[in-house]
Amino acid sequence: MKNLKYFEDALLKLAIDKGVIDKSQRTSLLKERVIKKTPLLESISREVECEALLSLLADIYDATVVLEDEVKVNESPDADKLFEKFGIVLGDVTSNKADVYLFEPIFDVEISKIESMINKKLRLLVVSKDVFENISQDLKNEIEHKKHHTISTNEQLKALKEDDVAIFFADELLQKCFDMKASDIHIEPLKDSFRVRMRLNGMLEEFGKYDEFFYPFLSSRVKLLANLDIAERRQTQDGALLFKVKNKDFFVDIPFRVSVMPTIYGEKIVLRRLSSGDEMIYLSELGMEEDILDKWKKAIKRPHGIILVSGPTGSGKSTTLFAAINEINKTNINITTVEDPVEFKIPGVNQLQIDSHKISFSHALRSILRQDPDVIMLGEIRDKETAETALRASLTGHMVFSTIHTNDAPSSATRLIDMGIEPFLVASSVVGILAQRLIRVLCSACKTEHVLSKSESEILYLEENTKVYKAKGCRKCNGSGYVSRMGVYEFLVVDDVISQMINHNKGDVDIKEYAINECGMKTILQSAKEILLAHKTSYDEVMRIAAE
């Protein structure tokens, strides 16, 4: 077939000859072609049954009609190239023949170009428009995925000049970490190789394995950037680096914290990406459900008292606190934070970075109190001294935010008492405790139905055979079945009754029971169940965070 006009004329003629359209349809199709410039294939698709159209196209293309379940898409680099250049999808390939799927016409010039490119004769297979869109969408995702999700292979590194390896490889990893929104990069020496993993949505994924030959290049480069001692290989070292990543057309400085630790096979290096300060965090983005969000907003706007956020490491506690600080950040109040290290930068907020191994939080806090603060955010309450200083500060007209390492909200209050704080001090200062976890959100492109078994439903107090969804994994979600994470919350508002309970040293079980029954507090598990029933997460995820 020579060109588009030739194709359209042939299609019209054949459709008339075969009686698929009549003369009046032909007239209106021709009119549409002239006036609206609608491609004939598009307009005729509306008039003619799919099957009849495919048989016409097969005749004109000299092709075979193929149904969806017979399609076998090729996943080689050739397939990507042909799709990007010619918009056709490569199928089975033999020594001298290659199948290609198409719906729209392809012309002689292109066919001969492709044939000489891959050195094979083409066999054309025509599929319906829908099928073609499906398979080409998959291929598009795959190509996009390959672009984003691969880093250099051993072979590609070998092809570089030795002088270039260090800079190229380190730059590539840091840029990729930013592009993929990964939180950490792990460079891990193994017996006679090393691997690179990155943490995506809370889970580590392997990106590549390399000859040990390349390891010194990469490790020296990272240590140099982080101002660490390159010759030192037996001690742990901590540092930081600022890396210019490309963000669309701009360059942004992204800070990374670098930690080096000697292992039996060499130094393991972990780089943690910190916020650049350009990415503001808002309460509305955390995934808090409305009822909790309302209570939380009310609590953080109180003039004094202490608010605690509890949860295991990596449960998003700092993010929640920063979103809170962001919400109340106004020019007429003085906000000061003490952190180890500073994770997010907030304009207008005095952020104090301390090394908590050298200066205690309570020491820093006492200095801050001399600076006339309204709101204080304290990285973490770990010891009695810090707890006591923080609670007393909140009683003397300051609003204090901090985090504490406990499993649920009620046990945070009792934890403070266990640390040796007077119950009355806890009872009169704590205004609210938020417990939280991060749960992974299912990929909507591939999540599949899952009917809860008897034992599964019993654990969650749900009816047997409740329909939920589970993870499967596709190209879009990098095979993990999940695309992001969201917060799961339990918020305990300390009212007069709870305050009395704390004062009388009632245990966390009693407090929890009262909060659930009388104040309608949702537990972490209850909130996670709701996310499960909203089909946003899986049973496995609910169980995973319940065990944390």
Q: Which residues bind Zn ion (CB under 5 A)?
A: 443, 445-446, 474, 476-477
Of 16, 15, 44, give the one whose Cα is nearest residue 28.
44
Q: Which is nearer to Zn ion, 201 or 310 (CB)?
A: 201
Q: State the minimum distance, in angstroms, from the CB of residue 138 to Zn ion.
A: 12
Q: State the minimum distance, in angstroms, from the CB of residue 159 to Zn ion.
A: 33
Q: Which is nearer to Zn ion, 14 or 180 (CB)?
A: 180
Residues 171 and 178 sit within 8 Å (Cβ to Cβ): no
- Using DSSP's 3-state secondary structure scheme, residue 339 falls into strand
Kindly give the pairing relationship between strand 430-442 and strand 482-493: antiparallel
DSSP state of 544: H
Residues 378 and 361 sit within 8 Å (Cβ to Cβ): yes
Residues 507 and 541 sit within 8 Å (Cβ to Cβ): no
Q: Which is nearer to Zn ion, 245 or 477 (CB)?
A: 477
Q: State the minimum distance, in angstroms, from the CB of residue 444 to Zn ion.
A: 8
Q: Is 191 exposed, middle or buried (0-12, 13-18, 19+ CB in 10 A)?
A: exposed
Q: Which is nearer to Zn ion, 295 or 440 (CB)?
A: 440
Pairwise CA distance, residues 32 & 296, whole Å: 60
* Number of CB atoms found within 10 A of residue 10's CB: 16
Q: State the minimum distance, in angstroms, from the CB of residue 483 to Zn ion.
A: 7
Strand partners, 395: none
Q: State the minimum distance, in angstroms, from the CB of residue 67 to Zn ion.
A: 25
Q: Which is nearer to Zn ion, 443 or 492 (CB)?
A: 443
Peptide bond just before 39 cis, omega within 30 deg: no
Kindly give the pairing relationship between strand 193-200 and strand 184-189: antiparallel
> Long-range contacts: 465-471, Cβ < 8 Å, 24+?
466/533, 468/532, 468/533, 468/535, 468/538, 468/539, 469/442, 469/535, 469/538, 470/442, 470/538, 470/539, 470/540, 471/442, 471/443, 471/446, 471/447, 471/538, 471/540
Q: State the minimum distance, in angstroms, from the CB of residue 218 to Zn ion.
A: 31
Residue 160, token pair as written in the block = 């570089």
Q: Which is nearer to Zn ion, 398 or 450 (CB)?
A: 450
Q: Which is nearer to Zn ion, 149 or 476 (CB)?
A: 476
Sheet of 203-211: strands edge to edge? 203-211, 193-200, 184-189, 266-273, 250-263, 237-247
3-state DSSP of 263-326: ECCEEEEEEEECCCCCCCCCHHHCCCCHHHHHHHHHHHCCCCEEEEEECCCCCCHHHHHHHHHH
Pairwise CA distance, residues 150 & 544, whole Å: 29
Q: Which is nearer to Zn ion, 60 or 474 (CB)?
A: 474
Q: State the minimum distance, in angstroms, from the CB of residue 79 to Zn ion.
A: 21
Q: State the minimum distance, in angstroms, from the CB of residue 525 to Zn ion.
A: 26
Q: Which is nearer to Zn ion, 135 or 524 (CB)?
A: 135
Q: Which is nearer to Zn ion, 135 or 185 (CB)?
A: 135
Pairwise CA distance, residues 453 & 243, whole Å: 49
Q: State the minimum distance, in angstroms, from the CB of residue 5 to Zn ion.
A: 42
Q: Which is nearer to Zn ion, 139 or 425 (CB)?
A: 139
Residues in Cβ contact with 279 at an 8 Å cutoff, skipping those fewer than 6 apart: 344
Q: State the minimum distance, in angstroms, from the CB of residue 266 to Zn ion.
A: 35
Q: State the minimum distance, in angstroms, from the CB of residue 84 to Zn ion.
A: 23
Q: State the minimum distance, in angstroms, from the CB of residue 287 to Zn ion.
A: 19
Residue 355, token pair as written in the block = 């090394």
Q: Which is nearer to Zn ion, 117 or 534 (CB)?
A: 534
Q: Which residue is nearest to Zn ion (CB)?
A: 443
Sheet of 350-353: strands edge to edge? 350-353, 335-339, 375-378, 399-404, 305-310, 430-442, 482-493
Name the residue with tokens 């008897």. Answer: 454
